Structure 1
Amino acid sequence: MLIDSFLLLETVQSNDVQRVKELISGYEISPDNAYQSLIEAIDKEYLEIVSLLVNAGLDVNFELLDGIPLERCCYERKFTYSKNI
């Protein structure tokens, strides 16, 4: 079953790590339904949430119109997460 992308994004925006864990547990996440949440977590520098999304299987190399999430993370010099991948 796919995760509700709007609920996930709202939860990421509130930086609710525990709720993100609950939401991704047992659900399928993919770039189609969760990439915006990953971008939001990168932009807000929510390292723990970025890690959760990536470890849940979200591809950081998924190509978007403005590049790929990992590339964006490195380009904008967002925290040190890119070194940990």
Structure 2
Amino acid sequence: MCTFDGEELDEGDEVVVKIDDLDLNNCSYCEIWLIYTDAGWYAFHRTSREQELPFTIKKDGYYELVIFDMGRDEDDYIECSGSVEW
């Protein structure tokens, strides 16, 4: 079990990170699903559950979600972050 931004999670639980102003797959408002398992975290675009996104949790207990918008310049990306407690 872990705590994700104050919400207690068990294996298989899902949380949604909502991101505004992101033009990913032609949607201006996107939700990112984060799935917690004992093997680690997995992030998927809300409308394409099979598309895994770059996602890491740092050792200091903070997560970072980095999404690259391939429809624009390769240097364009959006990051969001929050806290994780194990």
TM-score (norm 1): 0.28
| Structure with higher helix content | 1
Find the structure with the greater CA-based Rg. 2
TM-score (norm 2): 0.28
| Structure with higher strand content | 2
